[in-house]
Structure 1
């Protein structure tokens, strides 16, 4: 993607996000996964795109990976935004207030049900009205709505004054729930929420009762509207059901579940069943209790794949390409054990912990080495290793191609460690906060790799 050197970073982020067909929620979720920082929310992405805040340098590295925009271009755009701010210029984005007119749309207006003032409000109502017998903390509602605690608290107070929600305190925790009086507006409002933002819950309740279902993806027009992509209202719901390889699901039970969903949501439902391959996509899914499948919302489109030399390749093809060019090589025997790599990585992480505050540069170097060892462990388990003449980035590139965005941190850490090796560089020192952040990130990489290794066999 080409970037205008005078364009502020708010416009660059928004344009790149739209080009990749990501919602603000999706971008926030990918950033949180990639960076190991669950505090990255849709509200923070919105502040970037409105020009109210400029992403920090470390965050721009993660944005570069996800949005596929070179980091130096994001840095230039960030500098342009600062210049405009100093000169007193308003940063205009597609999210900025426009002059009144028939096409004006309030920031945050939900595309799925645009009668609400914001997606935050819709998320709160879906959680509380569809679960009238339980109370929610502000943190839980923030997770449901994909928003900050401050935004959720503001919406809660408005809904409580309207008599839709009620609150109580347990110690220092404030709990919210649907109002018990069930006034004349609550019933119709609950029906609206059930047929829109309540779809994931209804789908999970019905299809989750079918033995063997472990993952459900909601797609199509409904998923586009849920993600904030504008367009016509959905007239049906597309459901993709995933089951373990070799597991045959009861088609009659699936059909019954689909009919019950249609009755509850009052719209047609189509479903299809696919095998859940034991690849790294499953690593980002938390373990679930039986009958509680993972439910995701995503437009069902072909997944994006890495590119090498302009060729679209999946993870296996990337490895084959690296083998053909001599960047990777096959090996076997006692040296192919992944355990020594992981053991040494764990020791580096343990050594980095006390250094994060007193010597963050040293801690960061240890963490970068640990991340590279984790990548080498994943390759060794498959009988693969970087060749003696391979560039330094090969391990990170190979592992990311196979196992996804989370492991692109290996290459980001390597690059940052190289900056720390140059004392004259402007960025030649790590901060304690940076070291602490990456300490959590590398721990998560170690956990993900440890879970993945038993599922991997020799590459052939």
Structure 2
């Protein structure tokens, strides 16, 4: 048996497929073509492969047999991967929509809460998020069921327990039972803050970014979304938001940054957003009405989704649509080159950047200049890691700013820090220049900024596929 396959026995089938595909140097398009040929089903396409790999869909046994042949993976391993994927899905891979800024509808949320397991269940956490974050509003059982993603029976049971604990108060309006938060309890302040920064994130993100015109879709992605879905991993340090504008509309950048700042202030953690345009012909039918338009609620607010393993939004397999033209042009001009295989991995670059930053901290007291050079090199490693995760790298003889140009175009102005540090490093080559003086304070300010940028790059790389 192939040792690589043996190591992946316990992985969900999506990760097994992706690992085997990359081992064979196949793109998602190439795998789909081979499956269509061998199965005799021309409807097989790249989108289905992407859904399999991202855990949005588990291939049926019929397709697992064809996958076994194409990927050279024993069928029993794929069957075991399907079982592992179903087990992971039972942890609660959630889809959340917000018809209005004050309502969060959650479906398929069952089991123990992943973000804050001190609660009894996701239903209880959902009830608390709805009531504590809207303390002056009363909710019916039906409304709480929409918010918490549970049945009326389970919501009624959890609400009664919270009422008995003094957290909720109940009144009746005819035959309707209405519940709201008990605002006179001093202990509710800390509990509300805890809910706000965990299960209140979708509501707050929806409230703030829905105020920006031209936004058609809001997706919570990255580390926070993975923890919400029950995928085990590190504590999320930042909230990653992917925004899709409405067709033929361009959101105001200042308004977006203001929304991110407001959300960050309320959530007490960084909020980063990217804009991923979606072509009309590639939008999923699941998000469309019969007329083909992206659906809107009565309030005109965009849909909000939690997508820990989000479906692709562009036919080329690149999640970060804004930089596609720039990257394609740089490939065409010979500034960037494509590659694949095990080397198409950003993690070694990110690890090297982390080591550079650690070394910079050590040498800064004795040699601020040397420490600053290490920080500049770490910035370049961050950019190179994001490119490597997409199977991209600067070609021999390319411009020195090729990497920074690429990541700025793809991931936004926050990566402009990479180019600024590159330019600053150039001044250090001239000992007599006025701008070559580096102090310990310069290093102390640069290191935290690069650490935050490195963390952002690691989170972004989770959603990247090979550029095609």
After TM superposition, the score normalised by the length of structure 1 is 0.44
User: Under a length normalisation based on structure 2, what TM-score does the superposition of the two structures give?
Assistant: 0.43
